Each structure stands twice: as structure tokens, then as C-alpha cells.
Structure 1
Amino acid sequence: MTNHPVEMFNYHIWANQTILGRIKEISPSVLNQEVNSSFPTIAHALSHIYAVDTMWYLVLTGTGMPEAFQKSIPLNMSILNSVDEYANLFAQLSEQYKEWLQNQTDLEQTILLDNPFAGIRQTRLSEIVLHTANHGTYHRGNISTMLRQLGHASTMNDYSLFWYQMPAEAI
């Protein structure tokens, strides 16, 4: 039986690698070119995705959300100089997530989530994993738009393409 939150997180990892691979094919300057969009540069968008992924990882591993949010703020503001630096950060965090996911016996377990922006609620671990993947999808869409605004084609990184890129036994 497919574990959908884990499959969606695997998609999230693949899609991040795919968009980073596309950015790497373009001039290194594209990372920090200003654009009138959701973020001032592609680097800002990547830093945001990474910071939020890190924040949710901290929450999943037992840190309260207010503290996890505070710890992620510097990551959100840290703008890196190269796609390789982003790729390395995302790869390291992905490994941490994979290890955490492998050790989970019940992703339907709930935790008390104290969201500083929305309040307190019981939240399933699976919901957090799915939200993390969904958040990344949203902002990879921003990056695709930013690439087009800068005169470059993006790359497909849809979930349905992931199905065809990954061997059935790997999913």
C-alpha cells in the first residue's frame, strides 16, 4: 500500500532537484537577477523554501512551532551565491527528512501545533509532510514564472511527471 505523505515528500525532493538542475543550466547570474515577482530574486525564493522546509522538519522532530519559526528566520534571510550551495542544503535536509520518515510508525499521530499565525490545533504528522510538499510546489511555480520573466524556459516538475521519472518500485 502506498504511503501517500512519503510519496509526496519524495516528489518534493525530486521536484526541488529538477528545478535546481534547470537553474544550473542557465548563467549563474540568474540566481540573483532582480525580478518583479513574489520574491525579488530566485535565490530569495529558494532560501524561503529551504527555511520553511527546515522549520517544519524541526516541528516534526519535536521543536515547538514558535521556536522552529524563530530558528528558520535567519535561513530565510540567508541568500546563497550558487545553485550548488542550494542543492547541497536541500540534499542534506532531504536526507534528514528521509531518515525521520523511515523511523515513523504512525504518520496519523497528532501533535499540538501552536502556529503563531493561526493558533493552536491538533495536527497529524502526515498533514505537516503534505503541507511541506505543497508549499514547495507553490513556490517552485513562482520560480518557474521568475525564470520566464528573465527570458528563460523553466522545466516541468509536475507530480504526474514524477510518476514517469521514478521507477514504480521506488515509489
Structure 2
Amino acid sequence: MNHPEEMYSYHTWATQTILGRIQELPDSVLHQEVNSSFRSIAHALSHMYAVDQMWYLVLTGVSMPEALQMCMPRNEEIYDSVEDYSRRYMELSKQYAAWFQEHTDLEQTILLDNPFAGIRNTSLAEIIFHLINHGTYHRGNISTMLRQLGHASVMNDYSLFWYTKPAID
């Protein structure tokens, strides 16, 4: 497994870890309004999911402007339950796993037409690392939102992820 793929595995694990914590709490926590970066934890999760989908499309050859147009409306698709989010994330992670199987040269570059920043050659690995960084940032938002709602979050740091894998001799 290469480093970007390992980091994507971390991203999947960390997202499922925080979803698992939310699932332990009363159902109302998902949609409870909070004064934060997002109106609710569900809104934050929908944003993360939409962006993960958008980057997947870019990695599979869709232009970034087109991928944004397709996925950004999904920011407002608020699902009823944590299970809905978990299922969607797992389905998308399977698509990413298949993509990784087909792409061994992650230093390959594509011409990325980012409507917010301009055009540049960007490696596939850079896109993966950005996706992971974006998820980490918003899992931090969710942890803060949980605390604002009176609940503890759960550790989902990369250093904890190291210990979830079999030890290397």
C-alpha cells in the first residue's frame, strides 16, 4: 500500500470512528442546531461527503468545474440518520479503493482547473492529501460541535490509526 492510499484508509477510518461516536448519542444530536461553521452535524457530514464525491469525480477524469456543479448541491442533502451517512461513506470508500487498484502512479499529474484558485498541474497524490486534510479539518469541526452540544467526541487522530493495524515485525 502506498502512502496516499494509507492516508485515505486513515481518512475512511477516522470518518467511520466519528460517525460511530455520533451513533452512540441520542438521534437528535445529528440535526440539533449549533452556532458553528455548520448549522448541524448533519450539515457538516453532508459537506464532507459532497466534497469527497467531488474529488472522486476529478480523480476519474471529470473537470473540477463540472464535478463542483454536480456535487456541491449535495451539501444541502441532509440525511435522516447516522446510518445513512455511514452507508454512503462506505460505498464511496469502496469506489476509492477500486480507483487505487487502477492507479499505481500517484505522482502522475493532471491539469486541475480550480475555479477558486486557477489552473495548475496537480499530482493525484496531492489531491488525495488535500481530500484527507479537508476531512480532518471538518472532523475537528464536528468534535467541537459535539462538545457544544454537551457530548464528548472521540479520538480519531492519525497516531491512533497506527495502532488499529497489525503490528509490523
User: TM over 0.5, yes or no?
Assistant: yes
Rounded to whole Å, the distance in 2 between the matches of 1:168 and 1:58 is 34
Equivalent position of 1:97 in the other structure: 96
Rounded to whole Å, the distance in 2 between the matches of 1:125 and 1:22 is 31
Query: Does 1:73 pair with 2:72?
Result: yes
Query: Does 1:143 pair with 2:142?
Result: yes
Give the Å deviation of 1:168: 3.8
Give the Å deviation of 1:74: 2.0
Rounded to whole Å, the distance in 2 between the matches of 1:23 and 1:123 is 35
Change (3 A) 1:121 1:32: same
Equivalent position of 1:118 in the other structure: 117
- One-letter identity of the residue aligned with 2:150: G
**What residue ranges of structure 1 are gaps of 5+ in the alignment?**
none
- Which has the higher mean CA deviation after the structures are superposed, 113-122 or 159-168? 159-168
Give the Å deviation of 1:75: 1.2
- One-letter identity of the residue aligned with 2:131: T
Q: Percent identity?
A: 70
Paired positions, count:
168
* CA RMSD, 1 decimal: 0.9
SS of 1:108's partner is coil
Rounded to whole Å, the distance in 2 between the matches of 1:73 and 1:131 is 17
Equivalent position of 1:162 in the other structure: 161
- One-letter identity of the residue aligned with 1:145: T
- One-letter identity of the residue aligned with 2:82: V
Give the Å deviation of 1:103: 1.1
**What residue ranges of structure 2 are gaps of 5+ in the alignment?**
none
Rounded to whole Å, the distance in 1 between the matches of 2:91 and 2:132 is 16
Give deviations 1:78-119, integer Å, cap 9, x for gaps. Answer: 011100000000000000001001111200000000001000
Equivalent position of 1:12 in the other structure: 11
Equivalent position of 2:52 in the other structure: 53
Give the Å deviation of 1:135: 0.4
Moved over 3 A (4+): none
Rounded to whole Å, the distance in 2 between the matches of 1:98 and 1:8 is 12
Q: Given the two structures, how large is their TM-score scaled by the length of structure 2?
A: 0.97
SS of 1:113's partner is strand
- One-letter identity of the residue aligned with 2:126: E
